[in-house]
Amino acid sequence: MYINLSGLNVLVTGASRGIGKAIAAKLAEAGATVAVHYHKSGREAENLAHVLGNESKAFQADLAQPDQVVQLFDKVVSEFGSLELLVNNAGLAIASDMGSADKQWLEEWNKTMMVNLNATAILCKRAIDHWLKRKATGRIINISSRAAFRGDTAEYLAYAASKGGVVSLTRSIARAYGKQGIKAFNIAPGFVRTDMAKEFVERYGEQVVLGDLALERLTEPKDIAPMVTFLCSGLADHATGSTIDINAGSYVH
């Protein structure tokens, strides 16, 4: 199936590495111009934008800072002129010891919520405002997690809760704005071979992770990117509000 995203601008958060990098590459391959968001990996993001071509550019922002989230969106629109697609991929998973002091635990909880849920919500709001003012169509793809549905370990309560919020956010956007031409989708991966999953794998062992799968290998970023590209194409618009599980059969709901 040939997908042509030429002439469309897309913001991919957390695009300098891992899942975001694979998504950015696949979208650019289909012709999209990609705003490669990064936090600290500036060199990697700049190099990626150059490789992607299509006048793609790198944009820096700390998603733990609400003002920087707003500025990120405004910078992308200012540079590109418009935005048609939003992929909220950036996220973090902090292992918070339940035996730690309440202050520390809450700080880690709040940071997780800010990056995983609040920043996603702010960018969604800005995108919706952008499209409504222009009377334009738009698509949002949010990267959630199987943890939103089956839960997670005690150390990752905040991660699971934040991703559950992303699911509800996406469904509500889909229901509220479909008639205005705005569609929203969730992708819910399980463990993916990325730096973010490294801490859990090192703590519990890769065999524990692999033993939970129905397939023979751990999901990789390249397994996520084609579905995101497909949803961006408009070929699945009547699936708006839905969640696509990409977790190697480790959770089926």
Q: Which residues are catalytic?
A: 159
Cβ burial of 242 (10 Å; 0-12, 13-18, 19+) is middle
Residues paired with residue 188 on neighbouring β-strands, in sequence order: 245
Distance of CA 218 to the CA centre of its chain: 19
The per-residue DSSP string of 176-216 comes to HHGGGTEEEEEEEE--BSSHHHHHHHHHH-HHHHHTT-SSS
Report the run of H or E that residue 81 belongs to, with start and end: none
Q: What span, in angstroms and rounded, lies between the C-alpha atoms of 11 and 202?
A: 32
> Strands of 9-12's sheet, edge to edge?
57-60, 33-38, 9-12, 85-88, 138-143, 182-189, 243-246
Q: What span, in angstroms and rounded, lies between the C-alpha atoms of 148 and 137?
A: 28
Identify whether the C-beta of residue 12 lies closer than 8 Å to the C-beta of residue 48.
Answer: no
